[in-house]
Structure 1
Amino acid sequence: MKKKVTEDHPKKERKVTSGPIRDKERTKARMIAAVGKVIQKKGYHALNGPNIALECGLNKALIWNYFGGLDQLVEAYLTQKDFWQIGDKGVLEQMISNPNDIDVALVNELLKSQLNTFLKDKTKQKIIHWGLGEKTKALKNIADRREVLGEELFKHFDPKFENSETDIRATLALLVSGIYYLALQAKSTGSTFCGIDINTEEGKTRIEKTVEKILKQAFADID
């Protein structure tokens, strides 16, 4: 005998797993993922409508319907892969929302994460190579947003070092760019740099310890 649905036992609503909005978001996610697959398989020079459509099995017209164009689709992918906007976001948010927590350990944790991420993530390596070799609207927009985030951080760094002899912006610029180059060079050529092989745990540890030492010297000026 079927149970009668009463006010005390209302019928449960079925969870909606499909529909125009959900289907659109799934389709957009497939297209964004396809950008990464094309980069991995063929390189960023192969990023065009037909290749992306072929990779995700969808009509290339959807690129313009859902994103407004190829540049916007590529930018959506780059945003998802950008370390400074996505990777280790917890540390960045902690710095911005709790500036009093900014210390050597927190900054060192962020740079250590940057090094390990770019040593492991081949797609991020290719994106940095791409940014160094070409000028595109999508890459510029990502770089500009990265700088906006950087300024948010430096709003809290600058007052700490106001009366210090340490130029914290220049110090971090050298450390961040140095980490980029060491990681890319090690993975692109497999060679050493100054006799240090950061493809090995011993070499990577030497770099990490030196970065931490430089940061400690910089922050010692404000103690």
Structure 2
Amino acid sequence: MDAEAPSTLQGLITEVLKNQYKYFLSEREMQRLILWEISANSPLMKSIHNARESNGQAMLEMTDPHFKDKKVNFRAIAALLVGGIYYTILHTQFNGGMFCDLDISTQEGQNEMLTAIEEIVGWAFKD
């Protein structure tokens, strides 16, 4: 990816995160795997986590040139977005109800979450 094309990189990162949200929302087995990963000390889950981190690292390295010498730490923003995706979905799928007055069991609530992902990534690249 060309470091001089942040709008293209921004679009790629946005789509990856939005697709992660959609996938995680629809895949109950993946939800259970993440619950297992964060709640048990398991060599298998650690190896899966490390593999996922390695894949994510490659994507984050693509953002490094854009954020070099800027006050935005995109890795921290990405961590909060990914953690937020996991937590809001797990919370609402396993406990039901609303989260911050959003019902992500509805298309409207899901669209609000996807829009927020796009806005946050956009703010990071704009700053």
TM-score by length of 1: 0.53
Amino acid across the alignment from 1:160: H
C-alpha distance in 1 between matches for 2:64 and 2:21: 24
- 1:178 and 2:45 equivalent? no
Equivalent runs, 1:107-126 vs 2, <5 Å: 107-126=13-32
C-alpha distance in 1 between matches for 2:49 and 2:120: 26
What do you get for the CA RMSD once the two structures are aligned?
1.5
Q: How many residues align?
A: 124
- 1:129 and 2:27 equivalent? no
- Residue equivalent to 1:194: 100
C-alpha distance in 2 between matches for 1:131 and 1:194: 25
Q: CA deviation digits over 1:119-165, x for unaligned, max 9?
A: 11111011111111111111111111222222222222112101211
Q: Secondary structure at the match of 1:103?
A: helix
Q: Which runs of 5+ in 1 are unaligned?
A: 1-97
- Structure with the larger helix share: 2
- 1:158 and 2:64 equivalent? yes
C-alpha distance in 2 between matches for 1:147 and 1:216: 23
CA contact (8 A) 1:182 1:193 kept: yes
Q: CA deviation digits over 1:17-36, x for unaligned, max 9?
A: xxxxxxxxxxxxxxxxxxxx
Aligned in 2, Cα 1:187/1:99: closer, same or farther, shift over 3 Å?
farther
Q: Secondary structure at the match of 2:88?
A: helix
CA contact (8 A) 2:21 2:85 kept: yes
TM-score by length of 2: 0.90
CA shift for structure 1 position 99: 4.9
Amino acid across the alignment from 1:137: P
Q: CA deviation digits over 1:85-140, x for unaligned, max 9?
A: xxxxxxxxxxxxx3546522211111111111111111101111111111111111
Identity percentage of aligned residues: 34
- Higher relative contact order structure (alpha carbons within 8 Å, sequence separation ≥ 6): 2
- Residue equivalent to 1:70: none
- 1:141 and 2:44 equivalent? no
Equivalent runs, 1:79-90 vs 2, <5 Å: none
C-alpha distance in 1 between matches for 2:45 and 2:88: 21
Equivalent runs, 1:34-73 vs 2, <5 Å: none
Q: Which runs of 5+ in 2 are unaligned?
A: none
CA shift for structure 1 position 201: 0.7
C-alpha distance in 2 between matches for 1:176 and 1:142: 16
Amino acid across the alignment from 2:24: F
In the alignment, which of 112, 119, 124 is matched to residue 213 of structure 1?
119
